[in-house]
């Protein structure tokens, strides 16, 4: 667009250019320039299809496609001059293409609109992010798996309500997060399959009268098929909303893991020690080792969740088909994708570098009457007692131990018999945390033998 014709992109409909405020609120080039590579890829595929269908000449298509590569090179090298007057990435690319190849550039927009163009660009961008996030989550899962394998038989307290519940193994606890991130990968995979339809060719909203080949452009751009309905093709942002929904769940999983690591690294727990690479100090307190990386991972979830709410709010009241509100779809998705990718990378580093304090884990596993359930199970198994009665007897023994300020294993045989007469020395065998975890051999249980089976399975899955 020439500098003396600020309304050239809209043709002859407008006599005056936009007000400066209108230009500022209308322009998206400040953020949608991230779509440049996808925009140029889509345009090259469109030009090739137009030529194959005899809609434009082969020579024009060749000039367009070569010119677009020049534009891409300028953008990638940082030499491209983006203009807010040209509003968005599409018009910036087209204007520069015209300067490079002249008249053929004006034929590129035949049989398409910016509506189907941006929908196509945005889908390709989100698709690439899904692939990248899948790989990042696989890396984090491998880091968790390595930690789990190292501590497959280390005992630690399992918690409910952040109170000691039952002993579990370190490996079992970390494998819980491997399961979570596997579901995240599955959600990303599902979202990718569902969104992999090509809007290009839907034009503004009604399709086109030109004899285009949508199958050709769809295949060239790596889509499974063209979108079936031109109205839906340009108005749909389900793919972005679904991406953010899955990203939000993943961010919550990362935040939960980060929260545990923050707690575990305190002086009160001392379960883990963060490496210097993912910790910071204090400007005033020389003893401090702050788990800042984990805290920031925890905080990033807020940005992802906020982006999700924002886009859902933008879309919830829009009539079909395209409204300018939909320009506000990208910044939230861009920010959420960046935040999530950084959080995953940071968490992988934290997990790979952290060191577990095995002695502290084991000591904590024995605290808080963690094997009380094992005692109740012993009464059921060895004395044929109904579980509810076993629960009552065990509760009385816990109360007795509390009054004596000791753990269950420290009670004498006489203490035990004062609550339930038919006790024998065998009861003390089940009160040791390592025996407790070893006994939990049910499918999905915390026994080291089960943990090692799961580690072997996940090694095969993750490769």
Residues classed as catalytic: 161, 282
The phi and psi torsions of 12 (rounded to 5 degrees) equal -90, 5
Residue 160: strand pairing partners: 163
The phi and psi torsions of 155 (rounded to 5 degrees) equal -90, 145
DSSP 282-299: -SS-TT--B-HHHHHHHH
Residues 89 and 217: their CA atoms lie apart, in Å, by 20
Residues 236 and 123: their CA atoms lie apart, in Å, by 10
Residues 407 and 401: their CA atoms lie apart, in Å, by 6
CA angle, 85 then 90 then 96, to 5°: 70
Residues 130 and 244: their CA atoms lie apart, in Å, by 11
Distance of alpha carbon 176 from its chain centroid, rounded? 17
Question: Which two three-digit tokens encode residue 144?
Answer: 């968790």
List all residues 6 or more positions away from 335 whose beta carbon is below 8 Å from its beta carbon.
303, 307
Residues 266 and 259: their CA atoms lie apart, in Å, by 11
Tokens 């595929």, located at residue? 45
Residues 449 and 312: their CA atoms lie apart, in Å, by 46
Question: Which two three-digit tokens encode residue 11?
Answer: 């043709």
The phi and psi torsions of 162 (rounded to 5 degrees) equal 60, 20
> Backbone dihedral region of 384: left (phi > 0), alpha (psi from -120 to 50 degrees) or beta?
left
Residues 135-171 as b or e (16 or more Cβ within 10 Å = b): ebbbbbbbbbbebbbebbbbbbbbbeeeebbbbbbbb
The phi and psi torsions of 138 (rounded to 5 degrees) equal -65, -40
């Amino acid at each position: 667009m020439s500098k003396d014709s600020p309304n050239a992109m809209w043709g002859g409909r407008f006599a005056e250019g936009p007000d400066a405020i209108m230009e500022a609120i209308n322009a998206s080039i400040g953020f949608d320039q991230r779509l440049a590579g996808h925009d140029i890829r889509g345009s090259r595929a469109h030009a090739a299809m137009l030529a194959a269908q005899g809609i434009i000449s082969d020579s024009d298509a060749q000039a367009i496609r070569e010119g677009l590569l020049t534009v891409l090179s300028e953008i990638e090298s940082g030499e491209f001059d983006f203009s807010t007057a040209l509003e968005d990435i599409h018009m910036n690319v087209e204007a520069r293409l015209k300067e490079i190849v002249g008249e053929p550039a004006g034929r590129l927009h035949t049989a398409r609109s910016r509506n189907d163009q941006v929908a196509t660009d945005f889908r390709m961008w989100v698709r690439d992010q899904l692939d990248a996030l899948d790989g990042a989550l696989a890396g984090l899962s491998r880091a968790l798996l390595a930690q789990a394998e190292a501590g497959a038989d280390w005992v630690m307290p399992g918690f409910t309500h952040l109170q000691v519940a039952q002993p579990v193994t370190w490996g079992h606890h970390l494998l819980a997060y491997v399961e979570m991130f596997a579901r995240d990968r599955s959600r990303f995979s599902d979202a990718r399959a569902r969104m992999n339809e090509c809007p290009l060719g839907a034009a503004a909203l009604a399709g086109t009268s030109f004899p285009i080949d949508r199958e050709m452009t769809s295949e060239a751009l790596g889509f499974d098929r063209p979108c079936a309905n031109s109205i839906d093709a340009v108005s749909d942002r389900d793919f972005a909303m679904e991406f953010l929904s899955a990203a939000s769940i993943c961010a919550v999983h990362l935040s939960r893991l980060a929260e545990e690591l923050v707690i575990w690294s305190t002086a009160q727990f001392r379960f883990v020690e963060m490496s210097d690479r993912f910790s910071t100090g204090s400007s005033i307190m020389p003893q401090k080792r702050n788990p800042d990386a984990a805290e920031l991972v925890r905080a990033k979830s807020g940005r992802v969740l906020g982006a999700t709410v924002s886009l859902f709010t933008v879309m919830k009241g829009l009539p079909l088909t395209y409204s300018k509100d939909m320009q506000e779809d990208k910044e939230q998705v861009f920010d959420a994708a960046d935040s999530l990718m950084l959080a995953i990378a940071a968490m992988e580093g934290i997990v790979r570098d952290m060191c577990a304090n095995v002695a502290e884990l084991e000591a904590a596993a024995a605290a808080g009457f963690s094997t009380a359930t094992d005692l109740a199970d012993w009464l059921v198994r060895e004395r044929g007692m109904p579980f509810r009665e076993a629960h009552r007897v065990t509760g009385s023994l816990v109360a007795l131990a509390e009054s004596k300020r000791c753990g269950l294993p420290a009670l004498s045989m006489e203490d035990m018999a004062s609550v339930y007469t038919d006790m024998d020395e065998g009861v003390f065998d089940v009160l040791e945390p390592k025996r407790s975890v070893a006994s939990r051999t049910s499918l999905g249980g915390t026994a080291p033998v089960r943990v090692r089976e799961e580690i072997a399975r996940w090694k095969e899955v993750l490769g």
